[in-house]
Amino acid sequence: MNILNITNLQYTELVTAINCMVETAEYGMLPFTASSTDTEQHGADIYNTIVAGTYGPIAPYIAPPVAVVPITAISAAQARVALNTMGLRDMVETFVLGSTQNVMDYWEYETIIKRDSIMLNELALAAGITQAQLDELFILGATL
């Protein structure tokens, strides 16, 4: 195999191997994971050449982002305790008291607060609570 260049050097998670792109005359650019313990000699040779610095610095491993599972609902008690923690409870209750009967009923009797609730989102918008604050409320509330 005639290697022309090796690029995109990055350690693997355990730092025992190196992911890279190997350009060959025969096959063009190929993704490759080089390891000193490769059972094929060319794999170990590529690893040793990379580690020697022939193709430049090796980037550290960067973990992929963790998928965040959205919190879709919390109990009314969790919401109220989270609002206390965030310092928003008094403001929300003052706003609710000055709202329509429907809003007051929702606040008083709803037992499960759903993140996609039209009433919740309209209430938050009118009260000046941002979508980011709502997300924080649900994340925090789910831990209580």
Contact 59, 11 (CB under 8 A): yes
For all residues of the chain together, what is the average pLDDT? Answer: 93
Tokens (6 digits) for 144: 């209580």
Tokens (6 digits) for 79: 């919401």
**Could you tell me the pTM of the whole model?**
0.54
**For residue range 81-136, what is the model confidence (pLDDT) as tens digits?**
999 999 999 999 999 999 999 989 999 999 999 999 988 988 888 888 999 999 99
By percentage, how much of the chain surpasses pLDDT 70?
A: 100
Q: Is the pLDDT of residue 141 over 90?
A: yes
Domain boundaries along the sequence of the chain = 3-51, 73-142
